[in-house]
Structure 1
Amino acid sequence: MRLFHSRGYDAVGVAELGAELGIKPPSFYAAFGSKAGLFERAVEHYSTSDANVFGRAKALGGTVNEVIERMLLVAAEIYPEHDGVAGCLVLDGARNSADPEARAIIASYKKASRTALRDFIATGHPAKAETLADLIVIALEGMSGSARDGASAAALKSFAEAIGRAFLREAKQS
């Protein structure tokens, strides 16, 4: 997971993955079927871990507005580089990938995440759920990409706070 997260799907080879796992290519293929098979497992693990900013923010409860603001601040905290890894694996792990299977895996996770976010927002702001979900998803994608490009935690936090205010302004117009 760390290799895919730090460098992206295309930049990691099967030999390197096998070496990291301590297994030879035949064992690698027997265990995972393919590089994409391992990638899907890594993305699944990542999406159910503390790296899931929406899940983390939602678990603490509160109103829709509170959860969204918290989610943005959690992203600002965890997206900057830590131990050579920055951004979000789901948002950036297959960005610009030439592999259609890797892109399909990520597209499926992104779609499910956006749907869950939209459905949650709809509990408080049904008339604006689509627009507000787009605002947050695009903001998170930008934060992840910026973190991978070296944005500081302070810059991401400032941006997260501004997007939180924009979310509240848009939500009030519903």
Structure 2
Amino acid sequence: MTTKISRPRGRPRRFDADQAVATAQKLFHARGYDAVGVADVAEALGINPPSFYAAFGNKAGLYTRVLERYAATGAIPLQDLLRPDRPVAECLAALLEQAARHYAADPGAAGCLVIEGSRANDPDARQAACAYRVAAETVIRDFIAARVPEEAERLTDFVGTVMAGLSAQARNGHGLERLLATARLAGQAVAQTLVG
């Protein structure tokens, strides 16, 4: 008895989808969503645009996959920093300093992929990035609310604003020392708010 093995129609893919998402992540992080075209991604992957569309649907579809990968492997580890056994002010200061380090780690891809993506012109890409930003803000708000509920909204807004500013300044060329100085100043403001 022989078993006939059916093969998928068409030519086999010449690229690994996970590696393609990693490559696209570098492009989007370095240039921003709006500045990267399908042709740029296809060229970086060594495929033609029809193969790109067959694999990812469209640019926003690929970007969603990039955001999923970033959240799983490259985002700031909120759960590790926002610990219930440490004071709230200490945790938020550590979060802001980690953001500064993270955003300055690669000058070629500075800033936060999610924060910068939430400014994209494409509504689908912007919505996808905003969903991750809101999810992160919810984690921060819930952490604060569990300990100092009366300050949760205000401090979450402050931390989110500082992180967005750190991301923007990293993309503008501010180095680690300048970003850390800003993060530490913001950490002092948080500590004063929680003491007062």
Q: Settle same-fold status: TM greater than 0.5.
A: yes
CA drift of 1:94 comes to 4.5
Confirm whether residue 103 of structure 1 aligns to residue 126 of structure 2: yes
Correspondence for 1:30 among 54, 77, 83: 54
Residue ranges of structure 2 left out of the alignment (5+ in a row):
1-24
CA drift of 1:80 comes to 1.8
Is 1:132–1:171's contact at 8 Å kept on the other side of the alignment? no
TM-score, structure 1 normalization: 0.90
User: In structure 1, what is the equivalent of residue 69 of structure 2?
Assistant: 45
Q: Structure 1 residues 45, 60: CA separation in 2 closer, same or farther (over 3 Å shift)?
A: farther
Q: Structure 1 residues 35, 87: CA separation in 2 closer, same or farther (over 3 Å shift)?
A: same
- Counterparts of 2:156 and 2:75, CA distance in 1: 19
User: In structure 2, what is the equivalent of residue 151 of structure 1?
Assistant: 174
- Counterparts of 2:37 and 2:84, CA distance in 1: 38
- Counterparts of 1:100 and 1:165, CA distance in 2: 36
Is 1:87–1:147's contact at 8 Å kept on the other side of the alignment? yes
CA drift of 1:84 comes to 0.8
Runs of 4+ in structure 1 displaced over 4 angstroms?
none
TM-score, structure 2 normalization: 0.81
CA drift of 1:69 comes to 1.3
- Count of aligned pairs between the two proteins: 172
- Counterparts of 1:158 and 1:172, CA distance in 2: 21
CA drift of 1:93 comes to 2.6
User: Aligned residues: percent identity?
Assistant: 42
CA drift of 1:81 comes to 5.7
Q: Structure 1 residues 9, 102: CA separation in 2 closer, same or farther (over 3 Å shift)?
A: same
Give the RMSD, CA atoms, in angstroms: 1.9
Higher relative contact order (CA 8 A, sep 6+): 1
Residue ranges of structure 1 left out of the alignment (5+ in a row):
none
